[in-house]
């Protein structure tokens, strides 16, 4: 028999009226892995999280957390989960340490156990000095770190983070990345995170599911998905006869992948951007495609998203 997955969903569907927010999503996370759901706003990431964390019930399909079915055994599921929500939700009238104690009480933790754990976690997220201040005096980054600590109070098997770094300054963002890596490496925790930042999914995850309009459109290890595109990416904007330009490009040995959309943007995988751009520009001109913008870069998950959907992820 196969090992129990920390998270498993099969054909999960959730509609809001006519909106297919989650449209047949099957994902899994083995224990101790970091799995990312990457997609633009409105892709369905939060809805998947809400289904997994038993806050919503799906229209069809099934989901399990540590082997427990989310609909049949929601209490067992919740006991094994820590959650950090997309929207900040700490009580402004409580101090940092009170927020953690309150959460520990909800989980039925004894006072002494709560105290030890709260001290440990405040230390981890760098809030020891601010522990006795009301959270209404906290910055956005401090609130986020406190929420992370709160979601760890019950020592969950699985930690779910919905857009953990949304709107944070680069420094706090780096900190959150560091904690995520530590939780995985030191404690073997399973993490599911959602993000619309491709660098976040690329850096942190063992496995990424790229999601668009409620569907998984691509999945795999980030480095493998990226490598499939080629060595360099040349991103082009232009106008004119894109189809004959594409046809000519595809004949060239040094072109490793060609993706285009809307008749105006293209992402090309090439062996060397620096070396090939002059030839590409000349070819475009001869095909009647006028280029207005060129950028050479290493390929990233944004290019993977563009390759499948024909759209940029950040729009």
Residue 21: contacted member of ligand ADP, Mg ion, none (CB under 5 to 8 Å, by partner type): ligand ADP
* Choices 9-17, 78-86, 220-228, 272-280; region in contact with Mg ion by CB under 5 A: 78-86
Adjacent-strand bridge partners of 220: 208
Report the candidate in 247, 244, 233, 257 with the shortest Cα–Cα distance to residue 289: 244
Q: Rounded CA gap, 97 and 183, in Å? A: 21
Restricting to residues 31-70, name those near ligand ADP by CB under 6 A.
39, 41-47
Q: Considering the rule CB under 5 A, would residue 46 count as an interface residue with Mg ion?
A: yes
CB of 200 to ligand ADP, least distance (A): 14
Report, in this order, helix, strand and coil percent for the chain, each rounded to 5.
35, 30, 35
Chain position whose Cβ is nearest to Mg ion: 46
- Nearer residue to Mg ion within complex by CB, 19 or 252: 19
Q: Considering the rule CB under 5 A, would residue 64 count as an interface residue with Mg ion?
A: no
Main-chain dihedrals φ then ψ at residue 280, nearest 5 degrees:
-65, -40
Q: Rounded CA gap, 36 and 164, in Å? A: 11
- Nearer residue to ligand ADP within complex by CB, 48 or 152: 48
Residue 283: contacted member of Mg ion, ligand ADP, none (CB under 5 to 8 Å, by partner type): none
CB of 122 to Mg ion, least distance (A): 27
Q: Are strands 207-212 and 34-38 parallel, antiparallel or unpaired?
A: parallel
Q: Considering the rule CB under 6 A, would residue 294 count as an interface residue with ligand ADP?
A: no
Residue 42: contacted member of ligand ADP, Mg ion, none (CB under 5 to 8 Å, by partner type): ligand ADP
């Amino acid at each position: 028999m196969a090992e129990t997955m920390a998270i498993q969903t099969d054909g999960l569907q959730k509609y809001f009226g006519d909106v297919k927010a989650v449209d047949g999503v099957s994902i899994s996370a083995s224990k101790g892995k970091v799995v990312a759901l990457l997609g633009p706003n409105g892709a369905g990431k939060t809805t998947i999280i809400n289904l997994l964390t038993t806050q919503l019930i799906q229209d069809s399909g099934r989901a399990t957390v540590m082997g427990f079915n989310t609909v049949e055994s929601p209490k067992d599921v919740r006991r094994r989960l820590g959650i950090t929500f997309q929207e900040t939700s700490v009580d402004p009238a409580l101090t940092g340490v009170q927020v953690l104690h309150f959460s520990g009480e909800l989980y039925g933790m004894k006072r002494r156990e709560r105290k030890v754990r709260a001290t440990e976690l405040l230390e981890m997220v760098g809030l020891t000095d601010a522990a006795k201040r009301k959270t209404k005096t906290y910055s956005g980054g401090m609130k986020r770190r406190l929420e992370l600590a709160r979601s760890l109070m019950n020592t969950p098997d699985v930690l779910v983070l919905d857009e953990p770094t949304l709107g944070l300054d680069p420094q706090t963002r780096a900190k959150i990345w560091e904690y995520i890596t530590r939780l995985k490496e030191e404690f073997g925790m399973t993490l599911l995170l959602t993000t619309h930042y491709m660098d976040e999914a690329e850096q942190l995850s063992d496995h990424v599911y790229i999601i668009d309009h409620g569907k998984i459109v691509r999945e795999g290890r980030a480095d493998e998905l990226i490598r499939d595109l080629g060595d360099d990416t040349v991103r082009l904007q232009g106008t004119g006869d894109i189809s004959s330009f594409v046809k000519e490009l595809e004949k060239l040995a040094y072109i490793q992948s060609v993706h285009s959309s809307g008749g105006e943007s293209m992402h090309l995988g090439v062996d060397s951007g620096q070396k090939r751009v002059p030839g590409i520009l000349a070819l475009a001109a001869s095909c009647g495609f006028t280029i207005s913008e060129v950028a050479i870069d290493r390929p990233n998950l944004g290019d993977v998203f563009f390759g499948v959907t024909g759209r940029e992820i950040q729009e």
